[in-house]
Amino acid sequence: MGRRAGSWDPPVWSGPWAGLLLAASALISCLQPVPAQTSITIAPQSPAVGGNVSLAPQPPPQDWVLCKWFRSAITDENRRILTYYRNTNPAQNNGSAHTGRETAGSGCALNIAGLKLSDTGNYTVQVDLASGSPPILTVTLSVYE
């Protein structure tokens, strides 16, 4: 059993299909690549104590494998809030900086509920993609009285 690598016949690049294939591949190259994340949006922008906030990488990551959120301006494992896995159950692994109020949301967003003044500070996200180097972004959250 088993097929030998390279034993199949190569496709014939002629006839009416060739033009269609070229048009299709030109379209695909227009749609790709998806740009890497460049910023983090805070919603609402000025959250109040007791409220909820969502920190979301923009544009939303596409071919992500996992996202790590840190309560820090750097990717410090001792300050990790959570890791969010796309294909693992459970999807959320809480780190030592998790306070019981943080959950991962769609698009690798970090949702923090029941905000406290002490939640003011820097948050960093590391998005690991199936391809390419991981973009690392930091945002400063301010919680208001």
Ligand X SMILES: *[C@@H]1O[C@H](CO)[C@@H](O)[C@H](O)[C@H]1NC(C)=O
Determine the interface stretch with ligand X among 6-14, 55-63, 88-96, 124-132 (rule: CB under 6 A): 88-96
| 54 in contact with ligand X (CB under 6 A) | no
In whole angstroms, the minimum distance from the beta carbon of 8 to ligand X comes to 46
Beta strands in the chain (DSSP E): 39-43, 53-58, 64-70, 80-85, 92-94, 102-105, 109-112, 121-129, 136-141
Nearest to 64 by CA among 111, 132, 139, 138: 132
Calculate ∠ Cα 140-120-61, nearest 5°.
Answer: 40
| 75 in contact with ligand X (CB under 6 A) | no
Determine the interface stretch with ligand X among 2-10, 27-35, 62-70, 117-125 (rule: CB under 6 A): 117-125
- CB burial of residue 139 (10 Å; 0-12, 13-18, 19+): middle
Query: Helix, strand or coil for residue 45?
Result: coil
Count of residues engaged in binding ligand X, rule: CB under 6 A: 14
| 15 in contact with ligand X (CB under 6 A) | no
Q: Which two tokens stand for residue 14?
A: 């002629």
Distance CA 79, CA 19 (A): 54
Determine the interface stretch with ligand X among 12-20, 31-39, 54-62, 89-97 (rule: CB under 6 A): 89-97
- Which residue among 54, 62, 75, 94 contacts ligand X (CB under 6 A)? 94
- Which residue among 103, 115, 126, 143 contacts ligand X (CB under 6 A)? 103
- Which residue among 21, 22, 113, 117 contacts ligand X (CB under 6 A)? 113
In whole angstroms, the minimum distance from the beta carbon of 31 to ligand X comes to 35
Contact positions vs ligand X (CB under 6 A):
51-52, 73, 90, 92, 94, 98, 100, 103, 113, 120-122, 140
